[in-house]
Amino acid sequence: MKKINLLTKNSIQKKYLNKNLVKKLSKSSQKIFKEVENEINNPKKVLNILNKEFELNFKVKQIQKFKKYKTVVLIGMGGSILGAEAIYKFLEPKIKKKFYFFNNLEPKEIITFKKEENLNKILFIIISKSGNTIETISNLLSLKILKKKSKNIILISEKKNNLLFDISKKFNLFYVEHKNFIGGRFAVLSEVGLIPSYLMGLNIFKLRANIRKFLKGKNKSFLKDSSIKLSSLLNAKRINNLIFINYSQRFEKFLFWNQQLIAESLGKKGKGFLPVISSAPKDHHSLLQLYLDGPRDKLFYIFSVEEKIEEKIKIKKILNTNKYLHNKTLNNIKMAQKDALIKTFSKNKIPFREFKIKSSNEEVLGELFSYFILETIIVGKLIKTNPFDQPAVEQVKLYTKKLLS
């Protein structure tokens, strides 16, 4: 029997859902799931990324020469870098190299890095779908690493007239094309996430091994049920906030990736969820009172990972009190707090979802990426919102360029 490494659960009470709307959405979902299958098989659609035959714009042998670098710097913004960060953090115990992620404009960070590191011995991967992302280009130019035929730079962007593509030609640098029909937040299972993953020493084919898991059997039923319920909540506008309660550091960067995916894909035309990341059990001592006794406008997502390599607490040698801690690991204690929260949510009829990892590896991480990509796109289609664009963001970019001109 195949081991199940990802356990999922929904507990969204009927009182939060509109019965007639759920029925209507359920009927619509049949057509949308067929649409999704068709888009997975269409090589010019975003969802083709979940096709086992998805064609990558690089060959492994082309990037083998970069494996010699022990330190790697990724420069990018949003979906261009969040996926790779999520992979690194989730699988960090397996990774023997040091990775840095420049995903903001932090002048002191750049200055310090230039002073403390030998830039000639570092591999730089610069990613921007448009090739013109102002923060990415600014960080690249601030590092002053561009030289003719530099052997320690990889550029990834659309193959058209843009700054990164022009730089690759001018300096004769190693370049990989970013598919123009895949937005950054959906690109983690393409070149954008897989090239960094390969250079981390991970198995990129295992990352893509189970990407269709949630389109079959019970897993498909869970995806369908979840998508319908989330769409009903969005249309009713009763639940406004998604609170990601995180009981494992492994999930930290994944949740930032998921935050962008949901906010940017569904936050349109007056609708949308605000995804908020909450660290547990730390936030039990600051935000839990509000979560349990504040406005019922939140849906909680609970994320955890079973960690087994830990020393047990030996309380008997020190004190006779608090014996319940004896022979427990820190993870035992954390999981007890998580289970206690779930019991409290259930008793108080507070809606929640649970995502529990039994074993951390490439396959299960690929399952997580593919699940949330599918769910978000399906919800967008069910609420008749285009999940692939972000029109409101463009206005800020235009104003920024005007102010700098």
Query: Tell me, what's the pLDDT at 3?
Result: 62
Which tokens hold the place of 387? 């999940």
The CATH number for 162's domain is 3.40.50.10490
d(CA 177, CA 202): 22
pTM: 0.95
H/E run at residue 323: none
Are the C-beta atoms of 128 and 80 separated by less than 8 Å?
yes
Pair 319, 365 in one domain: yes
Q: Which of 168, 183, 207 is the last residue of a domain?
A: 207
Number of compact structural domains in the chain: 2
- DSSP string computed for 187-251: -TTSHHHHHHHHHTT--HHHHTTTTTGGGSHHHHHHHHHHHHHHHHHHHHT---EEEEEE--GGG
**Which one-letter DSSP state was computed for residue 325?**
G
The pLDDT tens digits of the residues spanning 114-162 come to 999 999 999 999 999 999 999 999 999 999 999 999 999 999 999 989 9
d(CA 313, CA 336): 15
Pair 216, 85 in one domain: no
Pair 335, 377 in one domain: yes
Interval 65-94 mean pLDDT: 97
Integer CA distances (angstroms), 401 to 107, 157, 242, in order: 19, 20, 33
Strands 352-357 and 6-11: antiparallel
Pair 372, 225 in one domain: yes
Q: Quickly state the pLDDT bin for 316 (edges 50, 70, 90).
A: low
Are the C-beta atoms of 126 and 136 separated by less than 8 Å?
yes
- DSSP string computed for 244-281: EEE--GGGHHHHHHHHHHHHHHH--TT---EEEEEETT
d(CA 342, CA 345): 5
d(CA 10, CA 171): 52
Which of the residue ranges 75-79, 318-322, 348-352 would you say has the lowest mean pLDDT? 318-322
Which of the residue ranges 122-136, 325-339, 361-375 would you say has the lowest mean pLDDT? 325-339
Residue 51 located in a structural domain: no
Interval 48-62 mean pLDDT: 95
Which tokens hold the place of 276? 């908020």
Residue 57 confidence (pLDDT) above 50:
yes
Q: Which of 149, 178, 207 is the last residue of a domain?
A: 207
Interval 338-357 mean pLDDT: 97
Query: Tell me, what's the pLDDT at 216?
Result: 92
Q: What angle do CA 372, 353, 325 make, to 5 degrees?
A: 120
Pair 229, 372 in one domain: yes
The pLDDT tens digits of the residues spanning 187-237 come to 999 999 999 999 999 999 999 999 999 999 999 999 999 999 999 999 988
Which of the residue ranges 2-16, 59-73, 220-234, 253-267 would you say has the lowest mean pLDDT? 2-16
Pair 172, 219 in one domain: no
Are the C-beta atoms of 268 and 234 separated by less than 8 Å?
no
- DSSP string computed for 285-310: GTTHHHHHHS-S-EEEEEEEE-----
Q: Quickly state the pLDDT bin for 307 (edges 50, 70, 90).
A: confident
Query: Tell me, what's the pLDDT at 299?
Result: 98
Pair 128, 175 in one domain: yes
Nearest-CA neighbor of 132 among 92, 160, 111? 160
Pair 289, 155 in one domain: no
Per the omega criterion (within 30 degrees of 0), is the bond before 387 cis?
A: no
Pair 203, 214 in one domain: no
Residue 1 confidence (pLDDT) above 60:
no
Query: Tell me, what's the pLDDT at 319?
Result: 61
Are the C-beta atoms of 81 and 135 separated by less than 8 Å?
no
The pLDDT tens digits of the residues spanning 27-45 come to 999 999 999 999 999 999 9
Query: Tell me, what's the pLDDT at 317?
Result: 61
Tell me the percentage of the chain whose pLDDT exceeds 70: 96
Residue 43 located in a structural domain: no
Residue 389 located in a structural domain: no
Instruction: Say whether 370 sits in a helix, a strand or coil.
Output: helix
Residue 282 confidence (pLDDT) above 80:
yes
d(CA 153, CA 312): 45
The pLDDT tens digits of the residues spanning 152-168 come to 999 999 998 999 999 99
Pair 93, 174 in one domain: yes
Instruction: Say whether 98 sits in a helix, a strand or coil.
Output: strand
Query: Tell me, what's the pLDDT at 394?
Result: 87
Range of the domain at 281: 6-37+210-382
